[in-house]
Amino acid sequence: MKGKEIFVIRGGNPLYGKVVVHGAKNAVLPMLAASVLTADKVSICDCPLISDVDDMVRVLETLGVTVERKGREISVSGSPKMTEIPSHLACAMRSSVFMLGALLSETGEVRLFAPGGCRIGARPLDIHFDGLTRLGAKVEYGEDFVQCTADKLKGADIVLKYPSVGATENLIMASVKARGTTRLIGAAREPEICSLVRLLRKMGADVSGEGTPVITVRGVDDLDGASCIPVTDRIVAGTVMAAVAVCGGRVEIVGGDADIMGAVISPFLTSHTFLVEHGGVIVFESDKMLLPTDVSTGPYPLFPTDMQAPFMACQCYACGLSSMRETVFEDRFAHVGELRKMGADIALAGNTAFVDGSRGMHGANLCASDLRGGAGLLVAALGADGESTLEGVRYIDRGYENIEEIFALLGGKIARQRT
């Protein structure tokens, strides 16, 4: 099989129809990691069919547990027989980091090679390791790996210097069977963390405070099997909204959970977009008359950094000067250079992009270098005059399920081709 996959997109078509949003990637990945905390069967329903989930399944199988997949349901059983996450898998994606807490709790040791994932900043793991050390783990650094060992984890108060999503999830998973009580102070509050806690609670864990800055975990001896439905993917829903905003049209987003999408939705409301939510369906309509916005990303409940690129694509079509301030990752503007190829007028000053959308956008040959940046370029191309090509499809496939089919069914002109 030669050549690489690209998207060919012809912009300018309005989008009409219905989209079903499935389980959130960033909920399913830690939930899969949590499954090793018991040998009983843990089933996660409504999983998205994306490559990050495939890679996480490969990590679990490599560790020696049994994984069954039936459509969107993934069931995991058995105990891990290995404690090392192979470097080729760790490099594949960031979520291998989420095995740290659960694997250490279950086996007493983990060797993790330098995790991969989107190049959006240094993405250190100091908050993870400092927290595990507080729980009694010994952390040793090799040339390209970290070895964590612990005879028996002990509960402790842990102050997180930043509400890291992954560190919060790892430390919850490390403490559910620790001796005594753990309090995570300054914890992340993301809905995906609440989804993980719902699963852990169904498994018998004693966790409270999720969704607030202080999470309390009282260690229990054992956990049992359970099944759980993850929260739906607010970033996929938000990306669909961004595409409708730039293309015009009306789309029903089935599974869009307005209760957790407040910050995602709010900057859309500045413009002439029309939104109604009833019974787990978000109806989103746009007349393409987008007004400029000033947006700043931040930890939940603020505007999510994962929506930064898709929403910047909307700002490229707004009649006036917008700003986008990225406060979570220090290097998450790779898509700006690509948007400029389409005619976007974007000036960068530190962690803020100033976007003047009054010039209009035209098709161009684009290249994605990370998951959400790629999604933003796809949104921009759907709204542009003329044809675009988009390389780096593999990044987008990490977090979006058959994204070209979703938008083609809505009337977008987009096809996956092999060069």
Binding site for ligand EPZ (CB under 6 A): 25-26, 29, 94-95, 118, 121-128, 162, 164-167, 305-306, 328-329, 371-372, 399
CA torsion angle 183 189 195 201 (round to 10): 20
Work out how close the CB of 334 gets to ligand EPZ at its nearest, in angstroms, rounded to a whole number: 12
What is the C-alpha to C-alpha distance for residues 186 and 135, in angstroms, rounded to an integer? Answer: 16
Tell me whether residue 125 or residue 199 sits nearer to ligand EPZ (CB atom): 125
Nearest to ligand EPZ of 187, 290 (CB atom): 187
Q: Which residue type, as a one-letter code, is found at position 266?
A: S
Paired sense of beta strands 109-113 and 145-149, if any:
antiparallel
From the list 118, 228, 314, 367, the catalytic residue is 118
Beta carbon nearer to ligand EPZ, 111 or 398:
398
Tell me how far, at minimum, the Cβ of 190 lies from ligand EPZ, in Å. Answer: 6
User: Which backbone phi and psi does 54 adopt, to 5 degrees?
Assistant: -60, -45
80, 103 contact by CB (below 8 A): yes
Q: For residue 390, is it left (φ>0), alpha (ψ between -120 and 50) or beta?
A: beta
Distance in angstroms (rounded) separating the CA atoms of residues 343 and 364: 9
CB of 291 to ligand EPZ, least distance (A): 26
Look up 148 and say whether it is catalytic: no
Least Å distance between CB 97 and ligand EPZ?
7
Sort strands 294-296 and 321-325 into parallel, antiparallel or unpaired.
parallel
Cα-based torsion angle of the residue sequence 172, 174, 180, 186 in order, rounded to the nearest 10 degrees = -40
Distances (CA, A) of 88 to 30, 33, 50, 115, 236: 19, 18, 18, 9, 27
Q: How far apart are CA 150 and CA 175, in angstroms?
A: 12
Closer to ligand EPZ by Cβ: residue 63 or 167: 167
Q: What residue is closest to ligand EPZ based on CB?
A: 166
Nearest approach, Cβ of residue 302 and ligand EPZ (Å): 10
User: Smaller CB distance to ligand EPZ: residue 7 or 329?
Assistant: 329
Task: List the catalytic residues.
Answer: 118
